[in-house]
Amino acid sequence: MMLFNGKIEIPDIKIDYEKCNLCINCMRTCPMRVFQIIDKKITQMPGEICIACRNCEVVCETGALKVHGSYRVRKGLPEIGYFHLEEFPEYKEFWK
C-alpha cells in the first residue's frame, strides 16, 4: 500500500515477470486503465491509480499479478477526480 498526499491509500500492484506471458488480459479488464507495455513488460502507468477491484488477478492466466492493499480515502476530500458540483448546473439540487 502507498499513500497519496497523506490522505488516500493506493494499492500496490506486484507483477512477477517470470510468470507473465503478456496475454494482456489485465489491460483489457482494468476499469482504471492503469497498465501499459514498456520493453515487452506490463507495467503500471505513473500517476494512474488502482482501485483494487482485483479484476487483473482474476483474469491473469499465470497468476503473475497480485494487488496488495486497498483504495480508500483516509481523511478529508479526495484530491483525485474531485469536482465542484457548482460547475454542473444540472446538479443544482445537490449544491450546499
Is the pLDDT confidence value at 94 over 80? no
CATH of the domain at 60: 3.30.70.20
Range in 1-5, 18-22, 29-33, 59-63 with the lowest mean pLDDT: 1-5
The answer to whether 46 touches 38, Cβ cutoff 8 Å, is: no
Whether residue 17 is predicted with pLDDT greater than 90 in this model: the reply is yes
Length of the chain measured in residues: 96
Distances (CA, A) of 29 to 2, 34, 67, 70, 96: 22, 10, 14, 18, 37
| 67 Cβ neighbours under 8 A, 6+ residues apart | 11, 12, 13, 14, 50, 52, 54, 56, 57
pTM of the model: 0.67
- The total number of structural domains in the chain stands at 1
pLDDT in tens, 35-87: 999 999 999 988 788 889 999 999 999 999 999 888 776 666 555 555 555 66
Domain of residue 65: give its range: 2-94
